[in-house]
């Protein structure tokens, strides 16, 4: 078993986006971050090169997700208290007394309950897992993703792709 580690800051796994943490006293307004995505993958080495996973493959997969979010306003489709309505090419949304309209092309709506670093970490972990599974990887035990809101603060989520008991 071995763990691969990609540092988002140095490996270029980044995106710059705006978000709103609805209801939060200071983060409840539209603001942005330069996000860095750290990825750790734990699994068995295999194949011709005895890799857990080729770094190039992981980077491609993570960059695809970053590109979808980059330079957009990220909105949580599954937020319980945000009302959305698509009016032609404009998205209208409302949280309590706050109403917004924005061109739909400037927005990415994600199927998550909020756009905190915590929920984004979970979203990235699930998406990366799906993509690696689709690419045929079956040697991976867990994937861990940290979403850093700038340098020095982030949320980390780990997803097990299969059961694992520590070797003794």
Q: Per the residue annotation, which of 71, 85, 99, 105 is the catalytic one? A: 71
- For residues 37 to 76, the per-residue mask of contacts with Zn ion, x marking binding by CB under 5 A and - elsewhere, is ----------------------------------------
Alpha-carbon distances, residue 161 vs 6, 133, 134, 167 (angstroms): 19, 9, 13, 17
| Least CB distance to Zn ion at residue 26 (A) | 9
Structure letter (DSSP) for residue 29: S
The answer to whether 66 is a known catalytic residue is: no
The answer to whether 24 is a known catalytic residue is: no
Q: Are 163 and 65 in contact (CB under 8 A)?
A: no
* Helix, strand or coil, per DSSP, at residue 1: coil
Q: Checking DSSP bridges between strand 14-19 and strand 107-110, what pairing results, if any?
A: unpaired
Residue 101 burial (10 A CB sphere; 0-12, 13-18, 19+) = exposed
The answer to whether 48 is a known catalytic residue is: no
| Least CB distance to Zn ion at residue 135 (A) | 32
| Least CB distance to Zn ion at residue 24 (A) | 8
Of the two residues 52 and 69, which places its CB atom closer to Zn ion in the complex?
69
Stretch that binds Zn ion, among 23-31, 46-54, 62-70, 76-84 (CB under 5 A): 23-31
| Structure tokens belonging to residue 25 | 């006293």
Of the two residues 27 and 107, which places its CB atom closer to Zn ion in the complex?
27
Closest residue to Zn ion, judged by C-beta, is 27
Q: DSSP secondary structure string, 100-118? A: EEEEGGGEEEESSS--SHH
Of the two residues 27 and 155, which places its CB atom closer to Zn ion in the complex?
27
- Which residues of the chain form contacts with Zn ion (CB under 5 A)? 27
User: Which residues have a catalytic role annotated?
Assistant: 27, 71, 149
């Amino acid at each position: 078993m071995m763990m691969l580690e990609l540092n988002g800051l140095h490996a270029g796994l980044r995106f710059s986006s705006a978000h709103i943490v609805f209801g939060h006293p200071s983060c409840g307004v539209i603001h942005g971050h330069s996000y860095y995505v750290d990825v750790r993958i734990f699994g068995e080495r295999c194949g011709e090169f005895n890799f857990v996973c080729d770094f190039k493959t992981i980077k491609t997969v993570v960059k695809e997700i970053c590109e979808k979010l980059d330079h957009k306003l990220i909105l949580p489709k599954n937020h319980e208290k945000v009302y959305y309505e698509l009016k032609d090419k404009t998205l209208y949304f409302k949280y309590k007394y706050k109403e917004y309209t924005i061109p739909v092309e400037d927005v990415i709506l994600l199927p998550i309950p909020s756009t905190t670093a915590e929920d984004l970490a979970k979203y990235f972990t699930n998406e990366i897992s799906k993509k690696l599974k689709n690419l045929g990887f079956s040697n991976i035990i867990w994937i861990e993703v940290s979403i850093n809101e700038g340098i020095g603060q982030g949320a980390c989520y780990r997803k097990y792709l299969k059961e694992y008991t520590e070797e003794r």
